[in-house]
Amino acid sequence: MPAGRHDADPPPSPWRVYLLVAGAVLLATVNFSVVFVAFGDIRDTFATSGSAVSWALTAFSITIAALLVPGGWLADRVGRAPTFLVGFGLFIAGSALVAVAPTVPVLVGARVVQAAGLALESPAALAIVLDAFPARRRSTAVGAMGAVGGVAAAIGPVVGGALVDTIGWRRTFALNVPLGLAVLVAVRGRLPAGRAPVAAGPPDLVGAGALVVGVGALALGIVQSDDWGVGDPRTLAALAVAVVALTGLVHRSRRHAEPILHLPLFELHDFRLGTALSFVLAGNFGGTFLAFITLLTDAWGLSLFRAGLAVAVIPAIGGPLSVVAGRLADQRGHRAVIVPGAVCMGAAGVWMFASVSSTRELTGLWLPVAVLYATGVGLAHAACQAAALAEAPSGRLGVASAMSRIAQEIGNTISVAIVIAVLAHAADPVAGTRGVMVLLVGISAASIPLGLALRSRGAGPVTGTRPAPGG
């Protein structure tokens, strides 16, 4: 459906819009795994240290964190479809640059371009799909988008590993170009125009800069704290910059007529709780996943490929289940799926803590624990973001989805840093796993009261959006 279609034309099917967007999201998300599986080959290609190549991962994470909210803000201001297409185009261009990067600094820069594209694409993609679905089915839409991430996480390491082994890491990234262009041709002109942009005045460019600097510095301080040390002046300086920039951002957002950080969203009951749950519960996934990989490889001696297959059961179950959870949340409220999900994740942590040993137990321990944990992930993770978006006004869906997502990204970054520290100071990988399971159980238990505090049934999106005071 052309972006400029007449208002009298019938709207496209919500699932048709979903499929158009999902293809691009799937390609970009699968690609996320490639750098991890190709890390050793990339290091060998440039004949450099692992710490140098690791900046390809670090810079990507920092850029995503710093630009997600500006990406959502742009989607609301200039339009969801244009922002989505520009973001996906940047991702394709970044992939081409990665494929031909002659040096590590160029590789890192190319990954920054990829990340900037994804930061524009992701919130716009979700807002496009949410616009296409009726407001009463928002949780179904969020769950369906969560399923794309689950499928990508399940197949990404396997497909990426097979491609890197077969054609090399450069050609694997280069493959994104023809595939991405094919997706662009398929979706261009067929995405719905969506709602008119909400901008009412000049944008707060100073606030946008403060947000990028603040979140980027926060991510840098957390990500590098393991290498630099928590008390290192560089870590403390990064965190201090983050505090100053983000404090200034909040102060400015209260006074600007068109702020990049839309503070009135935090006046919505379920937005506050859903965003908190995204940070605490969904944000713990990265650290737990890392602990599981470490157990399978370091304690039980599995190869990276076999460990990847073993952990693939989690997104393979959790992804499709998120669609079912979304439907249930639309019918019975978000707490009806988030609370059981938190219970399942906590139970998985208790089971693993009580039973894990240095003896490999793939069928007797790993499989049932993974299935139980995956059930919790499928029930709760996408529902946390769906809860945050349930009451968000339609004109602010881009920035609302980005604010919820950034809470999860920061939570993931912190959880990974904590898990790395726990594993590094443990006597052995099994002891480290037990320590991480204590963390998982504690976070799951703490999430239950937050989930119970959600409305039993969503109030629905508010109409309109109040401007910031002083505008």
pLDDT in tens, 372-417: 999 999 999 999 999 999 888 888 888 899 998 888 888 888 888 8
Residues 275 and 187 in one domain: no
Domain count of the fold of the chain: 2
At 349-364, the pLDDT tens digits run 999 999 999 999 999 9
Residues 177 and 296 in one domain: no
Whether 467 shows a pLDDT value over 60: the answer reads: no
User: Half-sphere exposure of 150 toward its Cβ, with a 13 Å CA cutoff?
Assistant: 24
Least confident of 1-10, 22-31, 282-291: 1-10
Q: What is the CATH number of the domain that holds 183?
A: 1.20.1250.20
Q: What are the residue ranges of helices labelled H in 33-101?
A: 34-37, 39-46, 50-53, 55-78, 80-100
Residues 173 and 274 in one domain: no
Residues 326 and 465 in one domain: yes
Whether 207 shows a pLDDT value over 60: the answer reads: yes
pLDDT of residue 259: 84
Cβ–Cβ under 8 Å, residues 283 and 404: no
Angle of helix 104-132 versus helix 138-167 axis, rounded to 10: 150
At 216-228, the pLDDT tens digits run 899 888 888 878 8
Q: DSSP class of residue 190?
A: T
Print burial letters for 251-264: b (CB count within 10 Å at least 16), e (below 16): ebbeebebbbbbeb
Whether 179 shows a pLDDT value over 50: the answer reads: yes
Among 169, 197, 225, residue at a domain's last position: 197
257 within domain boundaries: no
pLDDT of residue 28: 87
Residues 448 and 371 in one domain: yes
Q: What is the C-alpha separation between 367 and 230, in angstroms, rounded?
A: 36
Cβ–Cβ under 8 Å, residues 390 and 290: no
436 within domain boundaries: yes
Q: What is the C-alpha separation between 300 and 428, in angstroms, rounded?
A: 12
Rounded to the nearest integer, the mean pLDDT of the chain is 87
Residues 141 and 58 in one domain: yes
Say which residue the tokens 């859903």 belong to: 274
Whether 458 shows a pLDDT value over 60: the answer reads: no
**What is the arithmetic mean of pLDDT over 187-191?**
82
Question: Closest Cα to residue 119, out of 190, 66, 49, 48?
Answer: 66
At 33-92, the pLDDT tens digits run 787 778 778 888 998 876 778 888 888 888 888 899 899 988 888 889 999 999 999 999
| Percentage of the residues of the chain whose pLDDT score is greater than 90 | 48
Tell me the residue range of the domain where 186 lies.
Answer: 13-197
Among 161, 182, 197, residue at a domain's last position: 197
Q: What is the C-alpha separation between 144 and 156, in angstroms, rounded?
A: 18
Say which residue the tokens 């894990």 belong to: 356
470 confidence band (pLDDT: 50, 70, 90): very low
pTM over the 0.95 mark: no
At 76-85, the pLDDT tens digits run 888 899 999 9
3-state secondary structure of 49: coil
212 within domain boundaries: no
207 within domain boundaries: no
Among 149, 175, 197, residue at a domain's last position: 197
**What is the arithmetic mean of pLDDT over 428-450?**
95
pLDDT of residue 117: 96
> Alpha-carbon torsion 421, 350, 345, 299, what sign?
positive
337 within domain boundaries: yes
190 confidence band (pLDDT: 50, 70, 90): confident
**CA angle (266, 419, 425) in 5-degree steps:** 145
Print burial letters for 173-203: b (CB count within 10 Å at least 16), e (below 16): bbbbeebbeebeeebeebbbbbeebbeeeeb
The amino acid that residue 386 corresponds to is A
* Rg (the chain; Cα; Å): 21
**What is the arithmetic mean of pLDDT over 262-276?**
92
User: Half-sphere exposure of 13 toward its Cβ, with a 13 Å CA cutoff?
Assistant: 4
Token pair in block for residue 264: 């009135």
Cβ–Cβ under 8 Å, residues 282 and 413: no
Q: What is the C-alpha separation between 413 and 446, in angstroms, rounded?
A: 19
206 within domain boundaries: no
Residues 286 and 176 in one domain: no
213 within domain boundaries: no
pLDDT of residue 461: 64
pLDDT of residue 194: 60
302 within domain boundaries: yes
Residues 275 and 140 in one domain: no
At 305-360, the pLDDT tens digits run 788 889 889 988 998 999 999 999 999 999 999 999 999 999 999 999 999 999 99
